[in-house]
Amino acid sequence: MIAEIGLAALWLAAGLCALQFIAGVLGVREAGADGAVHPVSALARPAAVVQGLLLLVAFACLLRVFAVTDLSVALVADNSHVDKPFIYRLSAAWGNHEGSMLLWVTILGLSGGLVALFERRMDDRFMKAVLAAQAFIALGFLAFLLFSSNPFARLNPPADFGAGLNPLLQDIGLAFHPPTLYLGYVGLSVAFSFVVAGLVTRQAGPELARVMRPWVLAAWVALTLGIAAGSYWAYYELGWGGWWFWDPVENASLMPWLAATALLHSVSVLAARDALRTWTIMLGVVAFSMSMVGTFLVRSGILTSVHAFAVDPERGAFILGLLAIYVGGGFGLFALRAGALAEGKRFALVSREGALVFNNVMLSGILAVVLLGTLYPLAAEALGTRVSIGPPYYNPVSAIFAVPMLLVLLVGPLLRWKRDSLSRIAVPLAIVGALLAASVTVLVLFTDAGVLPVLGLAIAVALALASWLPLRGRKLKRVPLALWGSMLAHFGVAVSLAGMASETAFSIERLVAVEAGESVAVGPYQVTLQEVDPVAGPNWTALEGRLAITGGGVDTVLRPQARYFTDPPQSTSESALLTRWDGQFYAILGDAAGEGRWQLRLWWKPFVTLIWYGALLIALGGLLSIFGHLRASARSRRIREEVARRRAEKALL
């Protein structure tokens, strides 16, 4: 019954979505002609709100059938199991293709509802265009769900136990990773809808930027958190000790992030200075295209990975079709209308805008490098050669663009809008430059780190200081919240960069086969294998190694495991981590190596945790900016209303 309610809610939502689209289109057309608004167009906002609620109902139904493990629902039978712990039964609801697409659409519907309810800053015709664009996107994905990925399909007869969930996905990281990424993808789709409305109604000024900005920032914060969570998950769950593999699926989330980063910076130029109009509009289209490409890469099954839950050519073709319609439509509209947009304001090369343009162009360069690297193996395979692209390509080629961008980031925030001169900021420039040079010198003289880690660490040190320099000459109490946000985010970049460079340059790895009682030295620690015991969990059994870690002010025991799951049968390595303020100790238990020995793989990774702390700071900075901008916008609206009221009073007198 619950499954039928869910399916009915989905169909109703699809119907309302169609209504919202028609109402939106009518609203744009009629109001343009003679100012008279078609009566149906008034339904656009309510349709969006109710549609969001219906999708929430559908998703709640899906959670319900997973919570009670209703094995007459095919999706539950395929992806869950009666013996699974409750929290993983719930997260299994979106740990599969159909469920994750429903989550995508639900978040999309809720965002549409939020826009319809609360966004009152733009005129009615603009909002109708936004809602029509939102409905057009949602309609495609609802069709995909209903026609080729129905999550509520029944199984007759019901299954006895359920097939279970890939144990790699049986993890608290999974409960968090997909929803945040989808929030990011969907946030960019809302920004895209605003851009489409801007093109249709020929409004591409600072107002457009101001209504877009919270969504772009929210999407960017969510993508940042989603990428960081995915990276940490891969780091401890895969047991390979790495935190980024340039896997196509990772790139699928990185590319929208790069585009969103460029977009949010150009949006702030548009909002503050009314410059970069066409560029911002184009980035809005690009950012959404990247989230569509990401969805396509991950959801179509074109890549074989833990994310490609089921390989089904029909679904791949369907998503490719949606991709072609939305991306093609977006760029087509851009090509038709971009020429008609009014010109923005000009600026000098040495100015805040100039630095931000540089940032944008370099980010686009990195995006192009990652996109080509991700698509090349697919293209090569279509032509009959099989290749794979890894760090030897991505690291140096993306660094060619990343390093100049980071260097400009050191000084960009210090520059004034419109035009400035480097001599005005000579003092901070000299301080940051000296710090950079000193760091490079120290690192080259006293360590044997490679070129990129040296540059990374030196830039991180300089940026950790430079990110706070915009405070110079300001009264601390009067610094706007949004500026705190941007400084914190830039500081987060420095922190994260320091972690990446330090892990790359200074990690110590030991691979040994030891008997019980034997010791090895790893970095500052002495590691002794005490014994290896069998242990059992709710749906797995494991061999557990007991490692005594001493030295460096530590005296503790780590327990890495080799786990064997029963449904489905699979085994995983559970790493054991010891987190210290200055890094992480990482242990993996391998196989028996003969003569009573066990394989151990041990790492000491100095400051590796900074990577994810930095990401959290970046996200926190983004949140501060959202609140800062929303508060400022609410305040200026209050002031405008107050002024209007006083004028009205004066007129009456």
Query: Closer to other proteins at the Cβ: 164 or 470?
Result: 164
d(CA 322, CA 112): 19
Strand partners, 25: none
In the complex with other proteins, which residue's Cβ is closer, 200 or 362?
A: 362
| Cis-peptide into 179, omega within 30 deg | no
Give whichever of 61 and 159 is closer to other proteins, judged by the CB atom. 159
Residue 18 is which amino acid? A
Shortest reach from residue 304's CB to other proteins, in Å: 4
Nearest to 164 by CA among 72, 69, 79: 79
Q: Are 399 and 454 in contact (CB under 8 A)?
A: no
CB of 572: closest distance to other proteins in angstroms?
Answer: 6
Least spacing, CB of residue 591 vs other proteins, in Å:
7
| Cβ 185 to other proteins shortest distance, Å | 24
Question: Cβ of residue 262: shortest distance to other proteins, in angstroms?
Answer: 11
Joined together, the tokens standing for residue 160 give: 């006895």
Q: Which is nearer to other proteins, 310 or 471 (CB)?
A: 310
Give, for 602, the enclosing helix (H) or strand (E).
strand 597-606
Provide the 3-class DSSP secondary structure of residue 507. Answer: coil
d(CA 183, CA 196): 20
Residue with Cβ nearer other proteins (564 or 613): 564
Instruction: Kindly tell me which of 52 and 241 has the beta carbon lying closer to other proteins.
Output: 241
Q: Which is nearer to other proteins, 400 or 434 (CB)?
A: 400
Cα torsion for 243, 249, 250, 256, to the nearest 10°? Answer: -170
Q: Could you tell me the CA-to-CA distances from 579 to 529, 554, 606 in Å, in that order?
A: 19, 11, 10
Instruction: Please state the closest distance from residue 240 (CB atom) to other proteins, in A.
Output: 8
Q: Residue 421 CB, nearest distance to other proteins (Å)?
A: 10
Question: Using CB atoms within 10 A of its CB, is residue 88 exposed (0-12), middle (13-18) or buried (19+)?
Answer: buried
For residue 509, give the nearest of 444, 440, 600 by alpha carbon: 600
Residue 89: closest CA among 181, 26, 165, 149? 165
| Sites of contact with other proteins (CB under 8 A) | 166, 239-240, 276, 278-279, 303-306, 310, 343-349, 357, 361-362, 364-366, 368-369, 372-373, 376-377, 380, 385-390, 392-393, 396-397, 400-401, 419, 511-513, 562, 568-573, 588, 590-591, 593-595, 597, 599, 601
Q: Are 505 and 450 in contact (CB under 8 A)?
A: yes
118 and 4 in contact (C-beta within 8 Å)? no
Which is closer to other proteins, CB of 201 or CB of 572? 572
Task: Give me the least distance between CB of 369 and other proteins, in Å please.
Answer: 5
Q: How far is the CB of 390 from other proteins (least distance, A)?
A: 6
Least CB distance to other proteins at residue 266 (A): 11
Q: Which is nearer to other proteins, 109 or 354 (CB)?
A: 354
Q: Which residue has the tokens 């990446």?
A: 500
Give 46 or 404: the residue with its C-beta nearer to other proteins.
Answer: 404
| CB of 531 closer than 8 Å to CB of 624 | no
Whole-angstrom Cα distance, residue 547 to residue 557? 5
Residue (419 or 546) nearer to other proteins, CB: 419
Please state the three-class secondary structure of 122-133 as a single string. Answer: CCHHHHHHHHHH
Torsion region of 150: left, alpha or beta (phi above 0 gives left; psi -120 to 50 gives alpha): beta
**CB of residue 202 vs other proteins: minimum separation in angstroms?**
16
| One-character DSSP codes across 296-351 | HHHHSS-S-STT-----HHHHHHHHHHHHHHHHHHHHHHHHHGGGSPP-----SSS
**The CA-based dihedral angle spanning residues 617, 618, 621, 626, taken in that order and rounded to the nearest 10 degrees:** -140
With respect to other proteins, which residue has the nearer C-beta, 148 or 278?
278
CB of 141 to other proteins, least distance (A): 25
Distance in angstroms (rounded) separating the CA atoms of residues 605 and 232 = 14
Q: 120 Cβ partners below 8 Å, 6+ apart?
A: none
> With respect to other proteins, which residue has the nearer C-beta, 403 or 440?
403
CB of 392 to other proteins, least distance (A): 4
H or E element at residue 600: strand 597-606
